[in-house]
Amino acid sequence: MIAYYDDIQHLSPDQLSGFFVGWKQPLTESQHFDLLKGSTHFVVALDDETGKVIGYITALSDGIQSSFIPLLEVLPAYQNQGIGTALLGEMLRKLDAINNVDLMCDDDLQPLMSSSVC
């Protein structure tokens, strides 16, 4: 079962392996943990059977008018199962009071984001 959390107390750096695939300089698990802690908001998808984080989304916000979603990633083995869509939905619920939510994504993901956001 997949559970969604937005509390750092449910996490440790060793649960964050396998992300940043194809990045020029992938973050370490410790850097990823610090990235989540430093974000205004985050949501992670956790595989309850393995205890491993399998996806996450982050947002930076002024808390009043604007927010930016810089990162959304699901581990390759868990893609195409609706986890990214669920993470985006969870984040948009957190940002519901914000009038301007900015999201940038790769060309091949734009149809997914359009159908999830619009």
CB contact at 8 A, 78 and 18 = no
Its pTM stands at 0.89
∠ CA 109-104-45, rounded to 5°: 65
36-51 pLDDT per residue, tens: 999 999 999 999 999 9
12-29 pLDDT per residue, tens: 999 999 999 889 999 999
pLDDT at 108 over 90: no
How far is Cα 15 from Cα 40, in angstroms, rounded to an integer?
Answer: 20
pLDDT at 104 over 80: no
- The mean pLDDT of the chain is 90
Domain 2-117 has CATH 3.40.50.2300: no
